[in-house]
Structure 1
Amino acid sequence: MIDVHSWPTPNGHKVHIMLEECGQRLGRDWQVHAVNIGAGDQFKPDFLAISPNNKIPAIVDPNGPGGQPISLFESGAILVYLASKFGRFLPKGDRERFQVLEWLMFQMGGVGPMLGQAHHFRLYAPEKIDYAVNRYTNEAKRLYGVMDRQLKGQPWIAGKQYTIADIAIFPWLRSWQNQGIAWADYPRLKDWFDRIAARPAVQRGVAVLADARKPLTDDKSRDILFGKTQYEKR
């Protein structure tokens, strides 16, 4: 059984969705261990041993390559690993595979960090900084536009097949309102989003730990995530 150390955030949901899409069922084939990032669980030694960057998700697969256990952190790397392990959602042909990987990197290097900053400065920053709000809201809109154009004439982000590129991007767009987005401006992307949201495995994936997450309102949680606790030497 694969152990998934996670929390109901976009990066956590990527792995939950991927496992369910690969035919793995929570409680039968994989189990989730809640890492409450608002309470500081990500700094515990046992978690740092498998995720040295103190970020969720991380997995431990007792039946890794060669039948030996393996632990992995970074959600993109985990998606590639699971695609390889189960032979799903990553094409075998070089051209198609690299097209998927470039859009996976687009999510890891662009969509995640930029939309994360939009969330932070629009919702969580202790003071409103108009420059930052405008910069990251505009970047969110630009990225949505890139994806909307990419879907012209094809059903999925990397082409004709549903892949880990779609799985990686989808959870980040679930908070579109918090990013200052109007779906009417991105009709192709909205259709793509709705088709993914309707998939049973996706619905199961985003439900994992959903009841455990609470709104980030107290100063202690804010300090753990954004303040001095995050930057302590370990």
Structure 2
Amino acid sequence: MIEVYSWPTPNGHKVHIMLEECGLAYRVHPVDIGAGEQFAPDFLAISPNNKIPAITDADGPGGQPISLFESGAILIYLAGKTGRLLPADVAAKYEVLQWLMFQMGGVGPMLGQAHHFRIYAPEKLPYAIDRYTNEAKRLYGVINKRLAHTTYIGGASYSIADIAIFPWLRSWKNQGVEMRDYPHLKGWFDEIAKRPAVQRGVEVLAGVRKPLTDDKAREVLFGKRQVQQH
């Protein structure tokens, strides 16, 4: 049984979807990031960066327990554990991994900033809104161009690259993007959204999701509380 410490965010959904796609038994432990539960000592012992998601697997490598944080690392681990959604061929594997890194280093951070300045920031700063909205549109363009030449983001087969990117694009309206402007991406997005495992994955913890725009949540997520932990 894999223990999953998570919340219904794009990074959380990545792991939920992967577990569903792989058919692994798991148990979810909600970590209410707006209430500061990510700072609990037991969670920090697993995820020292105080971010969700994190997992523990009692049946890790060599039958020994393992804990992991960082959603990209978790996707790679689960792919290795199950032999699924990451090609065995070396060249194909690295083609997928480069797009996973594209998500981790670009899509997630930049779209996260677009969300922050467009929705969460108490002061609306036109420069920041324009900067990250434009970057969101650029990233959508990169993905659209890629999907004009290949069926899936990582290549010919569905993979952890698709699983990593899809949840971040579900909030395209909040990012100031018009999905219809990216027809290849939209076709891919609509296909991924129909997958039963994806539909199950995005529903994990959906019932506990709440707005993160009140002053307490802002302080926990973006204010002094973060600095005080280190």
Give the match's secondary structure for 1:4.
strand
Equivalent positions of 1:64-103 (< 5 A) are: 64-103=60-99
The Cα shift of 1:217 comes to 3.1
Which position in structure 1 is the counterpart of 2:14? 14
Match of 2:149 among 150, 153, 162: 153
Alignment partners' CA distance in 1, 2:18 and 2:214: 32
Matched, 1:229 2:225: yes
The Cα shift of 1:140 comes to 0.2
- Counterpart amino acid of 1:12? G
TM-score norm. by structure 2 comes to: 0.99
Give the match's secondary structure for 1:60.
strand
- Counterpart amino acid of 2:123? E
Q: Which runs of 4+ in 1 moved over 4 A?
A: none
- Counterpart amino acid of 1:102? Q
Match of 1:173 among 159, 169, 173: 169
Matched, 1:53 2:70: no
Checking the alignment, whether the CA contact within 8 Å between 2:39 and 2:229 is kept in structure 1 is no
Alignment partners' CA distance in 2, 1:31 and 1:112: 25
Match of 1:112 among 91, 108, 111: 108
Alignment partners' CA distance in 2, 1:96 and 1:218: 45
Which position in structure 1 is the counterpart of 2:128? 132
- Counterpart amino acid of 2:105? G
Matched, 1:199 2:205: no
Give the match's secondary structure for 1:116.
helix
Matched, 1:182 2:182: no
Alignment partners' CA distance in 2, 1:86 and 1:40: 33
What number of residue pairs does the alignment pair up?
230
The Cα shift of 1:63 comes to 0.2
- Counterpart amino acid of 1:143? L
Give the match's secondary structure for 2:170.
helix
Give the match's secondary structure for 2:33.
coil
Equivalent positions of 1:5-44 (< 5 A) are: 5-24=5-24, 29-44=25-40
Give the match's secondary structure for 2:107.
helix
- Counterpart amino acid of 1:194? D
- After superposition, the C-alpha distances for 1:10-66 in whole angstroms (9 at most, x for unaligned) are 000000000000022xxxx10000000000000000000000000000000000000
Give the match's secondary structure for 1:31.
strand
The Cα shift of 1:153 comes to 2.8
Alignment partners' CA distance in 1, 2:130 and 2:116: 12
Alignment partners' CA distance in 2, 1:11 and 1:23: 19
Alignment partners' CA distance in 2, 1:45 and 1:55: 13
- Counterpart amino acid of 2:5? H
TM-score norm. by structure 1 comes to: 0.97
The Cα shift of 1:184 comes to 1.4
5+ residue gaps in structure 1?
A: none
Give the match's secondary structure for 2:56.
strand
- After superposition, the C-alpha distances for 1:80-121 in whole angstroms (9 at most, x for unaligned) are 000000000000111000000000000000000000000000
- Counterpart amino acid of 1:5? Y
The Cα shift of 1:126 comes to 1.3
The Cα shift of 1:127 comes to 0.6
- After superposition, the C-alpha distances for 1:102-157 in whole angstroms (9 at most, x for unaligned) are 00000000000000000000001111111100000000000000000001132100
Checking the alignment, whether the CA contact within 8 Å between 2:15 and 2:53 is kept in structure 1 is yes
Checking the alignment, whether the CA contact within 8 Å between 2:34 and 2:221 is kept in structure 1 is yes
RMSD: 0.7
